[in-house]
Chains A and B, each alone.
Chain A
Amino acid sequence: MARASSAGRRSAGRIQVALIGCSHRTAPVEFRERISFTPKQALDAADELRRQGILDEAVVVSTCNRSELYGVPTEVGITITEAMEDFVTSFHQIPRAELSGRIYRRIGPDAVRHLFRVASGLDSMMLGEAEILGQLRTAYGQALDHGATGPVLNRAFQGALEVGKRVRAETEVGARPMSIGLAGVKLAERVFGNLKGHSALILGAGRVAEQVVDHLRNRGIGSLRVVNRSFDHAAELAARMGGEALRWESLESVLGVPDVVVTSMGSTGPVLTREMLERAIEARSGRPVFVVDLGVPRNVDSRAAELYNLYLYDSDDLGDIVEQNRKAREAEVPHAEAIIAEHIAKFESWRAALEAGSIVDDLRDRFHEHREILLRERLGEMPDLPPEERERIMRITKELIDRVLDQPAERLRTGRGMRGRLGAIEALRHLFGLDGTSEDKE
């Protein structure tokens, strides 16, 4: 397993990040399934891309909503993303024509911007979702341990993780709940604070109930009880989620215990009446109770909302809150984009400094190449020149090149504001034919 060494090995080329990928924005789930990578496949693909000489560094990010291949090309050209696409089609045995319109390609700052937006949750199906940051961290960590990354992708991914953290800490993009279940649980936290040490009762054992239970568990709820008309279903959900299943007949007797009650049952009339909840509050010495009614038709008598220390939210209320939150998250996007722009500028500045260093090495190699050709020609015309004199001439010319390049090398290494001088560096590269062009080609 060879370590990637892009910055050191690459010559006469720009240092860039390239990306190809598909996501929920460009492809349906049937296609995304076919192009996804298991963790092992992701590492194998990274190895193969480097072995084939397409990329110097590679990270494959594959989640249920996106499959993306980030890399640092050995040689930058307009065909690099095509080479990456060819690789993907052969790796997954997908006809090339099927990629059309479903794959996006980015190179340079656009690729880095895309990575930072993904890390911030701005490109996610649910704006600002937090899970993607963990998935990026895992994908990058595995590639790093495997030796598939190098200085450029290390810098890009570490930057992305930092951007993701900053965006979540400094903006509201990921702050407010975006699902009805989570909104209910977060509202309960507005009453009780931390849910550790509190108890919840779930009425119903369907999918909605399961989602809420999942959120309650994630938020550290102390104890969990499940009541359902079918005891078997309640027992199944309780066993899966680490709670306790209770029989339907015991509902009223246990109603005074929980701080949070979540109902999601199919019923024609209220399952919990005002009187039942009034008795429950009495039984719990007036301590507040938070009731989330996700049933349609509603499972809780709406008059119960008038009870002292009872907070009742139904699915419409929570739906409105989720909609408010969606708008609030969207309003925060410009703030997140500003953070991203700041980090792209930092990355580009670092990349420019790295390129500036490499261009001097490229120049030195080119000068020495010319020197050797010239010396071979000229010294060939002087067959009588003693070997020690030949050696002296060679040493002097080598020293001359090193002296000429020492000062610009030092300036490039230590100079500030390299990003602003990128144009000059490009011109220099072009002037000396270090970008692969020559007079013949032009």
Chain B
Amino acid sequence: MTIQLGYLSLGVYVASFVCYARILYAPNVWLGRLATVLLAGGILFQYYALLERSRSMHAVPYDDLYGSMSLFAWLLGITYLFVETFHRQRSVGGFVTLLLALWIALLGLVAPREGPAAPPARGPLFALHVTLNTWAYAAFALSFVLSLVYLVQDRVLRSRRLGAAFWRFPALDVLDRMARSSVYVGLVALIVGGVLGFIWQHRLMGRYTWGDPKVIVTVAILAVYLTYLWLSRSAQWRGARAARLCALNFVIVLFSYTFVNLYLTRFHRFF
């Protein structure tokens, strides 16, 4: 059932991508709304897929690569939907839904689909800690996409060779604000998630672990995104330089999500 729902959500994300991509070339209000509705539908189907998996595992699905990647994609979809609604801007939806579809297709190929054995019960605080941190990563992924679109748009404007889709993309100022919105979401989620993690650990062990590589990298992520927010308002950095920094910051997020989780940390190794 989980697999079928996963495929269904993949299909709906692909349909949403087609609609978003189409409105870049031929504007159509209803097609734009359909794209948003399809994205919301994909998120809903994926929610049920995750729910099924959670029920079978009796835990939030983060203890295996498949569940964790799926949770990441779901939170990315939700964050984008929030940013799209807040900024009333659909034109980057094509990139996000393409990323979502590719991500889910990839996880279907590389990650084992069978749910792991039920993980040890760690309580709701821990589940919230992991979910919020995954959400932060998803929000940073969105800011990465938006910053890339910003850089492309900036380059096109400077080259003065405007393509067909140029007029459909958001203004640089709007892209900048959208990227910052998702970084704000990511930072709040990361801070709250981190604090909850510390509280959970203290309750369990009566102490805090500061030396774990995952904790160190998370602090580094916090620092680089706070620096981005600060620099993006300064005279020398605002604009394309800040967008480049935001895109580069995501490398550390990827490093934390993959290399640190898989090889460096003991405490945060779940799969």
Bound-state Cα–Cα, A192 to B153, Å: 13
User: Are A176 and B167 touching (Cβ within 8 A)?
Assistant: yes
Q: Given A169-B29, A176-B167 in contact, is the A190-B172 Cβ separation under 8 Å?
A: yes
A residues near B, CB below 8 A?
169-172, 175-176, 186-187, 189-193, 282, 285-288, 305, 308-309, 311, 313, 317, 320-321, 324, 328, 335
User: Are B173 and A317 touching (Cβ within 8 A)?
Assistant: no
Q: Which 4 residue pairs across A and B have the least CB separation, nearest first? A: A286-B235, A193-B171, A285-B235, A193-B173
User: Are A172 and B26 touching (Cβ within 8 A)?
Assistant: yes
Residues in A with CB closer than 8 Å to B119 are none
Q: Given A172-B26, A175-B27 in contact, is the A190-B166 Cβ separation under 8 Å?
A: yes
User: Are A308 and B28 touching (Cβ within 8 A)?
Assistant: no
User: Are A193 and B170 touching (Cβ within 8 A)?
Assistant: yes
Bound-state Cα–Cα, A324 to B161, Å: 10
Measured CB to CB, the nearest residue on chain A to B236 is A286
Bound-state Cα–Cα, A324 to B166, Å: 12
User: Are A192 and B171 touching (Cβ within 8 A)?
Assistant: yes
Q: Given A187-B157, A190-B153, A286-B234 in contact, is the A170-B26 Cβ separation under 8 Å?
A: yes
Q: Smallest Cβ distance from B86 to chain A, in angstroms?
A: 14
Chain A binding surface, main DSSP class = helix
Is B160 in the interface zone, CB < 8 Å from A? yes
User: Are B162 and A321 touching (Cβ within 8 A)?
Assistant: yes
Bound-state Cα–Cα, A189 to B162, Å: 14
Is B164 in the interface zone, CB < 8 Å from A? yes
User: Are B174 and A193 touching (Cβ within 8 A)?
Assistant: yes
Measured CB to CB, the nearest residue on chain B to A168 is B27
> B171: which of A170, A172, A175, A191 is its contact (CB, 8 Å)?
A191
Which of B28, B164, B167, B237 has the largest count of A CB atoms less than 10 A from its CB? B167
Bound-state Cα–Cα, A313 to B160, Å: 8
Is B6 in the interface zone, CB < 8 Å from A? no
Residues in A with CB closer than 8 Å to B28 are 169-170
Interface 1/0s, chain B 156-181, versus A by CB < 8 A? 01101010101101111110000000
Interface 1/0s, chain B 224-260, versus A by CB < 8 A? 0000000000111111110000000000000000000
Bound-state Cα–Cα, A287 to B157, Å: 16
User: Are B162 and A286 touching (Cβ within 8 A)?
Assistant: no
Bound-state Cα–Cα, A328 to B165, Å: 11
Besides A191-B172, A193-B174, 7 other CB < 8 A contacts? Answer: A175-B167, A176-B167, A186-B167, A286-B234, A288-B239, A309-B238, A320-B160
Bound-state Cα–Cα, A187 to B162, Å: 10
> B27: which of A169, A187, A317, A320 is its contact (CB, 8 Å)?
A169
Bound-state Cα–Cα, A192 to B25, Å: 22
Which of B166, B171, B234 has the largest count of A CB atoms less than 10 A from its CB? B171
> B157: which of A171, A282, A311, A324 is its contact (CB, 8 Å)?
A311
User: Are A190 and B171 touching (Cβ within 8 A)?
Assistant: yes
Residues in A with CB closer than 8 Å to B238 are 285-288, 309
Which of B153, B158, B160 has the largest count of A CB atoms less than 10 A from its CB? B160
Residues in B with CB closer than 8 Å to A335 are 26
Bound-state Cα–Cα, A287 to B173, Å: 10
Residues in B with CB closer than 8 Å to A190 are 153, 157, 166-167, 169, 171-172
Residues in B with CB closer than 8 Å to A170 are 26-28
Measured CB to CB, the nearest residue on chain B to A282 is B235
A to B CB contacts below 8 Å, 5 in the list = A172-B27, A175-B167, A190-B171, A286-B235, A309-B238
Measured CB to CB, the nearest residue on chain B to A190 is B171
Residues in B with CB closer than 8 Å to A287 are 238
Residues in A with CB closer than 8 Å to B166 are 190
Measured CB to CB, the nearest residue on chain B to A177 is B167
Q: Smallest Cβ distance from B17 to chain A, in angstroms?
A: 20
Q: Smallest Cβ distance from A202 to chain B, in angstroms?
A: 21
Bound-state Cα–Cα, A186 to B157, Å: 12
Q: Smallest Cβ distance from B145 to chain A, in angstroms?
A: 19
Measured CB to CB, the nearest residue on chain A to B87 is A193
Q: Given A191-B172, A193-B173, A193-B174 in contact, is the A171-B26 Cβ separation under 8 Å?
A: yes
User: Are B172 and A288 touching (Cβ within 8 A)?
Assistant: yes
Q: Smallest Cβ distance from B237 to chain A, in angstroms?
A: 8
Which residues of B (109-166) have their CB < 8 Å from a CB of A?
A: 153, 157-158, 160, 162, 164, 166
Residues in B with CB closer than 8 Å to A286 are 234-239
